[in-house]
Chain A
Amino acid sequence: MTHYKICLWIAVCTTLFLWTSLGYTQGPTAPSNVVAKDTPNDDGTSITITWDVPADGSGIVGYNILSSIDEADFTQIGEQLSLEDVIDTKTNICNYQDTTVSRLNAFTYIIQAVTESGDTIQSQQTESVRPKAQIFHTGKIPLFLAMLLFSAAIVGNIYYVRSGREVFVRRIPGLEAVDEAIGRATEMGRSILYVLGLGGVSNVATIASMTILGQVARRTADYETPLRVPCNDPIVLNVVREMVKTSYLDEGRPDAYSEDNIFFLTESQFAYAAGVDGMMLREKPAAIFLQGTFYAESLILAETGNSIGAIQIAGTDSEAQLPFFIAACDYTLIGEELYAASAYLSKEPMLLGSLRGQDWGKLFIFGLIIVGVILELSGINWITTLLQNVR
């Protein structure tokens, strides 16, 4: 009986040993769970193939991707891929994006695992996939909703103000000083220099600057103060000429408008700075407006204006240039104040309403930041995850 038990134990142990040994020395297995899908949120020019990560010690060192177009023969796409190329460490899954596809064909794939010795094992072929172009990028839904919400806030507030309700607009010293600057130039009998910066006509800051220029031109038309506008962009030049001309016409002073005062200098950044500096030193304008998009030339212009003693009102959305303007100019419109200027100066209800809507947007973001910080401190991070996933 004892011999029988010993023999049984030996048999069981031997079986287990052989079984486990076989398991460890088992060769590489074929890639499993291979799925080919149309890549979401793209223009229909890629297919994503996913499959399971190989087991440790499987001996797999890379993969070949084989594709078949419209059930024709399989051919390899590109070079052999290493494990690092295909393993997504976040999801722990292998994936490959085939960007050689066309929306006109259907594609089938086989993943071929390659071992250290160069042997290959193929997966089963995937189902046939035809890439599709998506009309709407679903990853941008939060962004789209935010845009709709913000637009609705602006439009709603425009209607609110149109109904005759009063809107409080905080005092902006830089814009309050516009009349003072124009008055000073008039009293001194000198010109006003208006610099629109280096932005093109598609730049929103340039458009905001042009609307301020329109308001300034109305006042200079009244006072008959020469308004000089050197332009850096040919299209801006033509728009500005029309705008200033209309402002003079609206004020009933077409005779005071001189087209020669609005002219093109150059498109080159520093040549433009040199030209404007030269004008400042020669003509010594009493007031200088620096409104729009500025780069490295901002301080060159503002310091030269400061050196001639002109009253300077600057405004830009280029946050890197703001310290220079603050240091060298009398008044500076910081960021959003530039966009509020047209509403502030014209006092038009429709424009004031949009300012109120803008403030609602700021309030919403402010609230989101506070809630986000509190949730993050409490270990709940869905707001940060949501914002990180917005593309």
Chain B
Amino acid sequence: MKRQIPLALCFLFGVVMIFTQFSPHPVSKSIYERVISGALIIGPFALVLATITLIQTHINRIQRRTEHWGYSFVVFAGLITMVAIGVPFGPENPVFVWLYTNVQVPMDATMFSLLAFFIASAAYRAFRARSTEATLLLVTALIVMLGNVPVGDLIWNTILSWTGFENQASAARGWILDNPNLSARRGIILGVSLGVISQSIRIILGIERSYLGGGD
């Protein structure tokens, strides 16, 4: 029973939700909206549990004096400060907004900006011309990178002006992105879409039930 009821509910809601995609009737729309909003109700309860696990994790870190355990105090300081201001005064409170825009946003931006350096190191490894495929990748990447910046066309028009064609760096980039690249991407997207449908059918029919806990 512990398994059968969730599986039956999953089948019922799965079939109904599929049907809502093919029916413009207001009843169908209403069912869809109610189910979606019903699912949102679970979120806040789960968030409470999640916050408790976060607190437990950091208490354990402090108790066990694991490496860099001192940073757990920073987590508690941040959590307590934001809850102390956000809960009684609301998220529109100027202090709450100030903390968000001047602490969290710059920290997020810092992490995001690290991506530029990670891209450089990953590109260095990926583009080392050690095989024919890697060389092809390197040449293609160079063309796309040159085509993406105005200096690419400038170089083409200065050095290769004798060819009689202009702005071919950006044209070559466009061709690469619109033809071989887009074809490969669409192939992947088609495979993913079929995979998603297949996985959904397995879940709706109760064949895939590992999300209920365990594989049996």
Residues of A within 8 A of B (CB): 41-44, 133-137, 140, 143-144, 147, 150-151, 154-155, 158, 202, 204-205, 207-208, 210-211, 214-215, 218, 231, 234-235, 237-239, 242-243, 245-247, 249-250, 260, 262-266, 268-271, 273-274, 278, 282, 296-297, 299-300, 302-303, 317, 319, 322-324, 326-328, 334-336, 338-340, 342, 346, 348, 350-351, 354-355, 357-358, 361-362, 365
Contacts and interface: CB of A to CB of B under 8 A. Distances in A.
Given A264-B51, A322-B188, A346-B215, 11 more contacts: A207-B203, A207-B211, A234-B43, A237-B53, A274-B107, A297-B111, A299-B118, A303-B121, A351-B207, A354-B207, A362-B194
A274 B71 CA distance: 13
Interface residues of B, number: 64
Which 6 pairs across A and B sit closest by C-beta, in order of nearness?
A: A339-B195, A246-B214, A234-B50, A264-B50, A270-B111, A234-B46
B33 interface: no
B64 to A, nearest CB: 10
B179 to A, nearest CB: 14
A300 B115 contact: yes
A324 B121 CA distance: 11
A235 B188 CA distance: 29
Given A204-B196, A234-B47, A327-B126, A215 B215 contact: yes
Given A144-B22, A237-B49, A335 B29 contact: no
Contacts of B26: 43-44, 133
B24 A362 contact: no
B205 interface: yes
A62 B200 CA distance: 51
Contact of A154 (B29, B47, B198, B210): B198
A128 to B, nearest CB: 22
Contacts of B195: 208, 317, 335-336, 338-340, 358
B67 interface: yes
Contacts of B185: 319
B213 A351 contact: no
Nearest to B67: A282
A135 B25 contact: yes
A297 B110 CA distance: 12
Interface stretch (B54-62, B150-158, B164-172): B54-62
A323 B140 CA distance: 14
20 contacts: A41-B24, A43-B25, A136-B22, A137-B23, A150-B194, A202-B39, A204-B199, A207-B199, A214-B214, A243-B214, A263-B57, A282-B68, A296-B112, A303-B121, A319-B192, A327-B125, A335-B188, A336-B192, A339-B199, A351-B207
Contacts, number: 201
Given A43-B26, A264-B51, A317-B195, A300 B188 contact: no
Nearest to A328: B122
Contact of A155 (B192, B205, B211): B205
B147 to A, nearest CB: 17
A253 B86 CA distance: 43
A317 to B, nearest CB: 5
Contacts of A317: 192, 195-196
Interface in B172-216: 185, 188-192, 194-203, 205, 207-208, 210-216
B114 A300 contact: yes
Contacts of B54: 263-266
Contacts of B47: 234
B42 interface: yes
Contacts of A245: 213
A155 B25 CA distance: 29
Nearest to A237: B50
